Amino acid sequence: MCGRYSYGKKWGTAATKDLGIEISEYSVGDVTPGMSPIVISADEAGIKAQNMHWGMDSEKYGLIINAKAESLFEKPMFSKSIELRRLIIPCEKFYEWDRAERRITFSIDSEDVMYLAGLYDIAKNEISFAIITTSANESMAPFHDRMPLIIKKDEVKEWLRDSSSTKDFLAQPMPKLTAVKENQQISLFDNI
């Protein structure tokens, strides 16, 4: 699962360079469900950056922030979106929490920006998205059984534009991630 990610200071410049699109004004900091961060999508006019709401509304399940790669084509909520409305969520890192509730930061060492795969839909006059997740690889498995589907920067345009290769992307192995456990917060008042 992916329930929080972060923009660093370099992501906008890196994404502009990698994708050949202009991302001039961009945020820095954590992104959580319910926010409307910048995502990358494509239409007849080309590839564009725009803000979309993170979380697809479901009457049965509430706010859906992740979608499992293995069942996208079978689930009515996602089947049209995976075929026609794929997107990319640029980020510097994403987070999970261990059993002791310490935050673990995941990133790719050699990259200023990661490109997470997602899909979007339009409902109730709002464009909203979910991050696609897949089975955890060796670097993620000690912490969680799921991880975001990560698209290589040189394959982003194909992911956005070529629906014939979507199933191949959903099955490809994920890159090695670096995991950093953040120090547990210690209160000076615990022993008083």
pLDDT number for residue 18: 86
Q: What is the pLDDT of residues 44-96, one digit of tens each?
A: 888 999 999 999 988 888 899 999 999 999 999 999 999 999 999 999 999 99
Tokens read off for 74:
């079978």
Q: Determine the distance from the C-alpha atom of residue 30 to the mean position of all C-alpha atoms in its chain, rounded to a whole number.
A: 12
Query: With contact defined as beta carbons under 8 Å apart, do 91 and 116 qualify?
Result: yes
Does residue 187 surpass a pLDDT of 70?
Answer: no
Q: What is the pTM of this model?
A: 0.90
Q: How far is CA 17 from CA 10, 82, 165, in A?
A: 11, 26, 24
Q: What is the pLDDT of residues 108-153, one digit of tens each?
A: 988 889 999 999 999 888 899 999 999 999 999 999 999 999 999 9
Has residue 184 got a pLDDT over 50?
Answer: no
Q: pLDDT for 34-46, tens place per residue?
A: 999 999 999 888 8
Tokens of 168: 């191949």
Give all strands (DSSP E) within the chain, no chain letters.
5-7, 29-31, 38-43, 46-51, 53-54, 56-58, 62-64, 66-68, 86-91, 93-97, 103-107, 114-123, 126-135, 146-148, 150-151, 178-181
